[in-house]
Structure 1
Amino acid sequence: MHYDIVIVGGGAGGLELAAQLGRALGRKRGRERVLLIDRAVFHIWKPTLHEVAAGTLDTHQEGLSYAILARRNHFSFALGELEGLDPEAKRLTLKEIRDKDGELIVPARAISFTWTVLAIGSGSNFFGTPGAAEHAYVLEQTEDAERFHTRLLSAFTRASFTEAGALNIAIVGGGATGVELSAELLEAHTELLQSLGPSQRFRLGLTLVEAADRILGGLPEKISEQATLTLQRRGVRVLTGAKVQEVAACGLATSAGPIPADLVVWAAGVKAADSNAGLGLAVTRSNQFQVDDHLQTSAPGVFALGDCAACPWRDGKLVPARAQAAHQQASYLRKVLLAKLREGHVAEPYAYRDFGSLVSLGENRGVGSLMGNLGGKNFFVEGLIAKYMYISLHLAHHRAILGFWQTVVLALARLLQERVSGRLKLH
């Protein structure tokens, strides 16, 4: 099986690139020349996984089928997970697929390509912390978020029928994921209490643990201060300057003392997969693929984008692992690959533009800075304005893969569904 362009990974960047290329090439040529590969059958925008984990977003309503997206955007889709890559032979192999009972469904496959794009994302970095892999939940994939949600519902039920009447959750990592998960868990708890009788109500104790001296360390200090104040006012214990020394079934051991917890979520740091080092490409110490200013790896014809790519930026820094970076890289590679299909060349290098950051702090709350350093001093926004702008980023991603009118219809349908069935998923 051969395709001109094979994209491995259907995250924000990989899916947007496949959709852009497919639409540009048209119905027949796109499906023959562009292939998207992903290990899942439906797509969830990764920045919303904390909502899936808290139960305030239903994957059955939010998830978009890759097969349907492929048909609408004129590219081909294959279910599979990357097992090996031969850059010189321009061939990759996919792992065999088995069902839950271990029965073989699809054997291992080989696919040849002219150009390939690796958009396989990254995972959690436990920094060698004892017990983290065994006792902490992560939010890397949709199944991770759903696994935590299932455990959370059990913990909610148990807490509502115990004399202590309390559930303690510790979140390690004060980045955007940790902060937003804290806010969504508060929303879930509030909605749940509205459906319980007085005798079943319980207290939710949330502790956000950060090793640095402030949360949201990659964002302006004003955003960090506002987020800290908002979380504290809502009852979250924000513990900074505390390094996690061990994770146990009963909680955390930190440099600031023990933190009892019924559930622990690890949201501190990202690291590319160890298997990246075995694909025949140059990688960094964190296993990211080294790419040049055209997003090409050490092998000609092999590109990388998103979290798995170590892309140079400025002052010796790398392009940050953000959805906006993956979006920009997808748009850039669209031009590069379309030019190659037409035997042309894009001389202009990729340049990341920081448009700022937004953080959701609950249903009607948010903070953020816009325009980054493009126009001098950052423009600070908060409250409903920041929240609505945060939602608009999600809608912009949907518009890139669905189109304007389909996104409008989808947004209205989900709004009506929420009004009827409620926001919290309790199953």
Structure 2
Amino acid sequence: MRLGAFTGWLAFAASDPISMELTRESRDMRQRVVIIGGGVAGLEVASSLGRRWRGKPGQPSITLVDRDSAHVWKPMLHTIAAGTRDISQQQATFIAQAHDAGFTYQPGELHGLDRNARTVELAAIHAPDGRLLVPARRLEYDLLVLAFGSQANDFGTPGVVEYCYSIDSRRQADAFNRELRLRLLQSLAQETELSIAIVGGGATGVELAAELVQLFETTAAYGVPGLASRISVTLLEGGPRLLAAFPEDISADTLARLEGLGIRVMTGTQVKAANTDGFVLGDGSQLPASLKIWAAGVRAPAIGAGLDGLETNRNNQLVVKPTLQTTRDPAIFALGDCSSLAMEPGGRPLPPTAQVAHQQARHLIRCLPRALRGEPIGDFAYRDLGALVSLGDYDAFGSLGQFGLFKGVTFRGRLAQLSHVMLYRSHQARIHGFWRGGLLWLVDRINSRVRATVRLD
């Protein structure tokens, strides 16, 4: 959606009481489910239950709140950042999705919570030039679902906020891609060096590094000889190996593949600070970098630690019971990256992955109607289906989960690449429906044949 149309819709929504809330009579008849966050978990819950309840008298209403105007599957953000995927083809605008799936979308960012009154406070929305578009407002709920995601954890490292890019959201990924294309143009026109450094050897950092190499090689194939030779990519990891959550053989194979692509990988390397010229390392040396990306660590946004007394951990994640209800309020659920759930007492919490978010969303889709009726709901059961990491068109690696006949088995190559693709296509089918999701896959295949494979504008 174009910015002018979107801001016009915001102005209409703010001035029209019917669009902002239900009438008093209908509000008294219908229970209200408010979902904060349109990521993997939040959008799947809103879309599935919205379709189930749409057009049925007396069924609950669903309102999805997100500060952005569109959704992108988070494991794909690194491709948007590198420009190897077209953002306009991969995003689902919330307004259109709400219309198709039968829920209501409200633009906004969570600013506060009143558990006694059962209301959430949304911050005011301003235009880039400072104009007020939508004033601060409150939404009432009967059940609240918090799924506002996560962001990279800078661990208080000086200079990260000022000098580093993050790619935790659609907007951040697109902003980095715009800057990257400007730097590439500058390097081409002035024949200067471009050094890129990524902090974080998890899946995001590893996949972004590979996608950047793919971008440079593809750009050279379009008639820009010599550009790739003036660009360097360095990946820094504080731990002893890449992909610490993966089996060791995948970590070793990934390291070898990245180095084969010309990427400099530095493990066991601590970063003390970021500055204009690059990173200051633990030994006091300076690593030069024109573009700096921080993809290390995970924590929930700061708002998670200030929500009317809800229990949180040191990473601002909301602590939940096995039912996914918060420990201090059964009317509030938390799922996905912003929640913390240990499946065993004293055990490690589940990792903040799209796999966990999806499984928790499916659990809530089944149980939320019972919760609205005041009936007991079952505990969430997690199945470790393994993990995948994709190195663009070069390679992919996967490991099977800790159950079944082939538990712990690792694999690579075409099978791993296909498995990675199917994860994304399954997500599209869940939010758009089977047939529309299939059509979107077909459109992507056609575009890959008739359009440039990287963003060149």
Partner of 1:203: 230
**Are the structure 2 counterparts of residues 22 and 201 from structure 1 closer, same or farther at C-alpha, using a change threshold of 3 Å?**
closer
Q: CA deviation at 1:28?
A: 4.3
TM-score, normalised to structure 2, is: 0.89
The residue identity in structure 2 corresponding to 1:56 is: T
* Aligned-partner Cα distance in 1 for 2:228–2:319: 52
**Cα pair 2:157 2:272 within 8 Å, conserved:** yes
1:392 to 422, 425, 434: 422
CA displacement at 1:167 relative to structure 2: 1.6
Gaps of 5+ in 2: 1-20, 22-26
Say whether the 8 Å CA contact 1:178–1:267 is kept in structure 2.
yes
Q: What SS does the corresponding residue of 1:285 show, helix, strand or coil?
A: coil
Mean Cα deviation higher: 367-376 or 403-412: 367-376
Quote the Cα distance in structure 1 between the aligned partners of 2:42 and 2:227.
45
Aligned to 1:249: 276
For 2:321, give the aligned amino acid: D
Find the aligned partners of 1:24 and 1:172 in 2 and give their Cα distance: 43
Paired position in structure 1 for 2:294: 266
**Contact preservation (8 Å) 2:143, 2:372:** no
Partner of 1:296: 325
Q: 288, 313, 338: which is aligned to 1:284?
A: 313
1:57 and 2:85 aligned: yes
The match for 1:176 is: 203
- How many residues were matched structurally? 425
Per-residue deviation, residues 83-139 of structure 1 (Å, max 9, x unmatched): 111112111111122222222222221111110000001122111211111111001
- Which residue identity does 1:386 align to in structure 2? A
1:419 matched to 2:449? The reply is: yes
Q: Any gaps of 5 or more consecutive residues in structure 1?
A: none
Partner residue in 2 for 1:332: 363
The structural deviation recorded for 1:300 is 2.4
Q: Distance in 1 between matches of 2:250 and 2:59?
A: 44
- DSSP-derived class of the 1:271 partner: coil
Task: Give, as a single letter, the amino acid of the residue that structure 2 aligns with 1:66.
Answer: F
Partner in structure 1 of residue 41 of structure 2? 13
C-alpha change, 1:313 and 1:198, in structure 2 (3 Å) is same
**Whole-Å separation in 2 of the counterparts to 1:120 and 1:30:** 28
Match of 1:382 in 2: 412
Matches of 2:226 and 2:329, distance apart in 1: 64
Q: Which residue number in structure 1 is paired with residue 153 of structure 2?
A: 125
Per-residue CA deviation, residues 297-335 of structure 1 (Å, 9 max, x unaligned), is: 121201100011011124610011000100011111112
Change (3 A) 1:330 1:253: same
Distance (whole Å) between structure 2 residues aligned to residue 364 and residue 71 of structure 1: 39
Whole-Å separation in 1 of the counterparts to 2:392 and 2:303 = 37
What is residue 311 of structure 1 aligned with on the other side? 341
Q: 1: CA distance between counterparts of 2:383 and 2:43?
A: 20
Mapped partners of 2:244, 2:77: distance in 1:
21
Q: Give yes or no for the alignment of 1:320 onto 2:351.
A: yes
Measure the CA separation in 2 of the matches of 1:258 and 1:36.
45
Q: 1:143 aligns with which of 148, 152, 171?
A: 171
Q: 1:327 to 1:158 in 2, by over 3 A?
A: same
- Give the Å deviation of 1:52: 0.6
- 1:47 corresponds to which letter in structure 2? P
Query: 134, 144, 166: which is aligned to 1:106?
Result: 134
Is 1:95 paired with 2:123? yes
2-structure distance, mates of 1:104, 1:364:
47
Q: Which residue of 1 aligns with 2:15?
A: none
Higher mean C-alpha displacement, 193-202 vs 360-369: 193-202
| Cα distance in structure 2, aligned partners of 1:201 and 1:337 | 52
SS in 2 for 1:34: strand
Counterpart contact for 2:325–2:334, Cα < 8 Å:
yes
Q: Is contact 1:54-1:181 (8 Å) kept?
A: yes
2:223 maps to a residue whose letter is L
The 2-side partners of 1:296 and 1:370 are apart by 29
Determine the C-alpha separation between the residues in 1 that align with 2:228 and 2:406: 49
Give the stretch that moved more between structures: 174-183 or 16-25. 16-25
- Cα deviation 1:386-420 (Å, max 9, x = unaligned): 11110110001001011111111111112211211
Residue in 1 that maps onto 2:246: 219
Is this contact kept in 1: 2:83–2:454, CA < 8 A? yes
Deviation (angstroms), 1:26? 3.0
Task: Tell me how far 1:31 sits from its aligned partner.
Answer: 8.2
Deviations 1:221-279 (A, max 9, x none): 11111111110111111110000011111111213643211111000001112222221
In structure 2, the residue matched to 1:36 is 64
1:27 maps to amino acid = G
Residues 276 and 287 in structure 1, CA contact (< 8 A), matched pair in contact too: yes
Residues 1:30 and 1:405: Cα distance change in structure 2 (over 3 Å): farther
Looking at structure 1, the residues matched to 43 and 209 of structure 2 have their Cα atoms a distance apart, in angstroms, of: 28
User: Post-superposition shift, 1:29?
Assistant: 5.0
Equivalent residue of 2:52, what SS? helix
Instruction: Give % identity.
Output: 39
Q: Is the 8 A contact 1:31 1:74 kept in 2?
A: no
Instruction: Give the 3 Å change call, closer, same or farther, for CA 222–149 of structure 1 in structure 2.
Output: same
Aligned to 1:36, the other structure's residue is in SS state strand
Partner of 2:399: 369
Matched, 1:355 2:385: yes
Distance 1:369 1:103, change over 3 A: same
Given residue 314 of structure 2, which amino acid in structure 1 is its aligned partner? R
| Aligned CA distance change for structure 1 residues 98 and 381 (closer, same or farther; 3 Å) | same
Kept in 1, the 8 Å contact 2:220–2:226? The answer is no
Alpha-carbon offset, residue 212 of structure 1: 0.3
- Do 1:6 and 1:35's aligned partners in 2 also have CA atoms closer than 8 Å? yes
User: 1:72 maps to which residue?
Assistant: 100
